[in-house]
Homo-oligomer: A and B are copies of this chain.
Amino acid sequence: MKAALFKGKGHIELGERPLPTIKEPSDAIVRVVMGCVCGSDLWYYRGINPHKEGSIGHEFIGVVEETGKDVKDPTKGDLVIAPFTFNDDTCPNCKAGFQSQCNHGGAFGNGDTDGGQGEYVRVPYAAATLVKVPTGDYSEDMLASFLSLSDVVSTGYHAVVSAQVKEGDTVAVVGDGAVGLGAVMGAKLLGAKRIIALSRNPDRQKLAKEFGATDIVEERGDGAVKAVMELTNDVGADAALECVGTDESIGTAAAIVRPGGMIGAVGFPTYKEFEYRTLFWKNIGIRGGVAPARQYIPMLLEAVLNGKINPGKIFDLRTDLDNIKEAYVAMDERRAIKSLLKVSEP
């Protein structure tokens, strides 16, 4: 089958991988309908984080082609959303709602396992992992919205949940990438009254506003802190959603939260200087991590189906596997927020 192959820093290309087959009775084989490129894939591409050569991509929706004998639901022909990590739903971490920390789980597209940037994927613990989409005739935009729940919107939402955003809150979102935009949407969904998006990119500002941002702050660093403090009458935000992971971004997040507030952290942590004790002295909490997308997808899917949210708009470059290089390069050059790969018809 065709699949994107990671070949080291700056090298991504379309190649061949063996068609996956059922290995365990709890497996399913899913034909990928849409995949996409994640911000974390870019970190591999840029050589900032290591990635094994081979399969890549961990976000996808697809149609179930075959199931192991233990998989009763979903069944062949079902359209499904795959969270970016698989999980068995039996371990204590799954039971606590943190399926991304499943004791028997793992990630798609890690070099060895099939990835979302290919034609087929073997999904372990398919009954526990996959979320079935109700039968229907969906537009490409709707499919794109389903796809966005696989990781990026669920991850943004995890920042919102981790920061315990509630009705009426003032929330500041640090990061205008796809995850940050998902966080804006999630904050709106949970009733935040004021959503301040930090962004200096006009296209992303526009999308942030569509998703629910009430204010845009273009400044960075100290300027951003000053601007947010002015917008909040020198109080600070109830919550800051940290969707970048650098020292600058987490420093900004820490500086714009009011005493007693929360930081929801989902940016891949590359910070080196950040010290928790700076939060302690302001009674600010921090919580987050790798999003348990499996926990959030059913609720977010409902919101998509009801037309309450339209997260598929995050994909501003829509291409296919044959153009995998451009899908990466456009994001690397910040010409695209997020690249969608149409792989097959649903």
The size of the chain A interface, using a CB distance under 8 A, is 34
Q: What is the total number of copies of this protein in its complex?
A: 2
In the bound complex, how far is the Cα of B285 from the Cα of A202, in angstroms? 34
Stretch of A8-16, A91-99, A108-116, A176-184 at the chain-chain interface: A91-99
Which residues of A211-248 have CB atoms within 8 Å of chain B's CB atoms?
Answer: 233, 235
Stretch of A61-69, A142-150, A256-264 at the chain-chain interface: A256-264
Stretch of A287-295, A312-320, A330-338 at the chain-chain interface: A287-295
A271: nearest chain-B partner, CB-CB: B277
Q: Which of A92, A271, A292 has the most CB of B within 10 A?
A: A92
User: Which residues of chain B have C-beta atoms less than 8 A from A98's C-beta?
Assistant: 259-260, 283
User: Which residues of chain B have C-beta atoms less than 8 A from A284's C-beta?
Assistant: 287, 289
Decide yes or no whether A252 CB sits under 8 A from chain B: no
Decide yes or no whether A101 CB sits under 8 A from chain B: yes
Binary interface profile of A, 260-303, with partner B (CB < 8 Å = 1, else 0)? 10100100010100111101111111111110100000000000
User: Which residues of chain B have C-beta atoms less than 8 A from A289's C-beta?
Assistant: 279-284
Q: Is the CB of A265 within 8 A of B288?
A: no
Within 8 Å by CB of A97, from B92, B260, B276, B281, lies B260
User: Which residues of chain B have C-beta atoms less than 8 A from A100's C-beta?
Assistant: 283
Which residues of A71-110 have CB atoms within 8 Å of chain B's CB atoms?
Answer: 92-93, 96-98, 100-101
Q: Is the CB of B290 within 8 A of A287?
A: no
User: Which residues of chain B have C-beta atoms less than 8 A from A249's C-beta?
Assistant: none
Q: How far is the CB of A8 from chain B (nearest CB, A)?
A: 25
Given A269-B277, A277-B271, A280-B265, A260 and B290 contact (CB-CB distance below 8 Å):
no
Q: Is the CB of B290 within 8 A of A101?
A: no
Decide yes or no whether A339 CB sits under 8 A from chain B: no
In the bound complex, how far is the Cα of B97 from the Cα of A274, in angstroms? 26
Q: Is the CB of A101 within 8 A of B269?
A: no
Within 8 Å by CB of A288, from B274, B280, B290, lies B280
Q: Is the CB of A282 within 8 A of B92?
A: no
Q: Is the CB of A287 within 8 A of B285?
A: yes
Q: Is the CB of A269 within 8 A of B260?
A: no
Q: How far is the CB of A245 from chain B (nearest CB, A)?
A: 9
Q: How far is the CB of A45 from chain B (nearest CB, A)?
A: 22
User: Which residues of chain B have C-beta atoms less than 8 A from A280's C-beta?
Assistant: 265, 269, 288-289
Decide yes or no whether A154 CB sits under 8 A from chain B: no
Q: Is the CB of B258 within 8 A of A93?
A: yes
Q: Is the CB of A283 within 8 A of B288?
A: yes
User: Which residues of chain B have C-beta atoms less than 8 A from A281's C-beta?
Assistant: 289-290
Q: Is the CB of B285 within 8 A of A286?
A: yes
In the bound complex, how far is the Cα of B275 from the Cα of A277, in angstroms? 10
Decide yes or no whether A129 CB sits under 8 A from chain B: no
